[in-house]
Chains A and B, each alone.
Chain A
Amino acid sequence: MDITNLTFLFYGYSAAWIIITAFVFLLVSRGRRIDRELARLKSLVADKDNHPR
């Protein structure tokens, strides 16, 4: 079996999985950031509604 072929096959699949995993991590971190921001804004709106100027 040609080792060079196998090495490049390994590089190819590794690259594909690294890209997909990095994308999933970005998606998860953005989701967490959005959830935090949404909770913060909702509490701010509730505060302003309860204590109007």
Chain B
Amino acid sequence: MREKAIYLLAILAALVMIPNLKTVFMDLPDEAMQGAIYRIIFIHVPAAINAQIFFTVSLITSILFLVKKNFVWDSISVSCIEVGTMLVLVNLVTGSIWGRNQWGIWWAWDLRMTSQLMCFLLYLGYLLVRPAIAEPTQRATLSAFVAIFAYADIPLVLMAIRLPNVRTQHPGPVLETGTMAKEFHAPFGLGVLAVFLICTALILIRQHQETAQREIDSLRRELHSI
């Protein structure tokens, strides 16, 4: 069942992504101010949006683990965080390359970019610290608390370009302000969907590994007790 779902998601992702990449690279015109480079938005922003979706799922599942003590919630949480962290890295790297082209600098320590870097470091810390705790219940409980703490950065990332008195190098929210041309909306939405489908498949694979890892832990304990 899980394998079928993974294959189905991968096929759906390919069906959405391939025609969308064709539209982005061959059909859409260059942007008036930026030329061809603006097309980076179709990977840069979907990566960030999906990372925030998966971090929100990890927040909910971490709370559910603390309430119900069911390890399924912990496995979903860690899987979402791992994939989300990878997406934040994609967002930071593509943003930096875009910034170098448009602003002439690789990085600016403004609120948006710094809070996003903090987000990456917080969740990377979660992933690095987690394997250091051997006892499964203790590991899952501590991980849940760290995931809830790390999520505190997400509202800051979201608000960084919306706060009235904060000047950032990063542009404002183009979708909300209507500064994105209408013809870019569909490929943008399909880009978000394609990344979501691919990453959901990756999360299912990662969650299966987490379940198998718990089985390994229990077999090791059984071997020690024989």
Chain A interfacial positions (CB closer than 8 Å to B): 1-2, 4-6, 8-9, 11-13, 15-16, 19-20, 23-24, 27, 30-31, 34-35, 37-38, 41-42, 44-45, 48-49, 52
Cα separation A49 to B100 with both chains bound (whole Å)? 63
B156 at the interface (CB under 8 A from A): no
Contact segment of B58-66, B88-96, B174-182: B88-96
Known: A27-B202, A27-B209, A31-B209. 20 other contacts (CB 8 A): A1-B30, A5-B35, A5-B37, A9-B39, A9-B40, A12-B43, A12-B94, A13-B40, A13-B43, A13-B94, A16-B47, A19-B89, A19-B90, A20-B86, A27-B205, A34-B213, A38-B212, A38-B215, A41-B219, A45-B226
B101 adjacent to A8 (CB under 8 Å): yes
Partner of A2, one of B36, B89, B215, B220: B36
B97 at the interface (CB under 8 A from A): yes
Cα separation A26 to B171 with both chains bound (whole Å)? 34
Q: Contacts A16-B47, A16-B90, A27-B205; is A8 near B97 (CB within 8 Å)?
A: yes
Contacts of A6 in B (CB 8 A): 36-37
Task: Tell me the nearest residue of chain A to B222, going by C-beta.
Answer: A45
B226 adjacent to A2 (CB under 8 Å): no
B contact face: mostly helix, strand, loop, or mixed: helix
Cα separation A2 to B36 with both chains bound (whole Å)? 8
The interface on chain B, measured as residues whose beta carbon lies within 8 A of the other chain's beta carbons, has a size of: 35
A contact face: mostly helix, strand, loop, or mixed: helix
Q: State the Cβ distance, B158 to closest chain A Cβ, in Å.
A: 22
Q: State the Cβ distance, A30 to closest chain B Cβ, in Å.
A: 6
Cα separation A15 to B119 with both chains bound (whole Å)? 20
Task: Tell me the nearest residue of chain A to B37, going by C-beta.
Answer: A5
Q: Contacts A2-B35, A8-B97, A30-B209; is A20 near B216 (CB within 8 Å)?
A: no
| 30 contacting pairs across A/B (C-beta < 8 A) | A2-B36, A4-B101, A8-B37, A9-B36, A9-B37, A12-B40, A12-B44, A12-B97, A13-B40, A13-B94, A15-B90, A15-B93, A16-B90, A19-B89, A19-B90, A19-B93, A23-B83, A23-B86, A23-B202, A27-B209, A31-B205, A31-B208, A34-B209, A34-B213, A38-B219, A41-B219, A41-B220, A44-B219, A44-B223, A52-B226
Task: Tell me the nearest residue of chain A to B36, going by C-beta.
Answer: A5
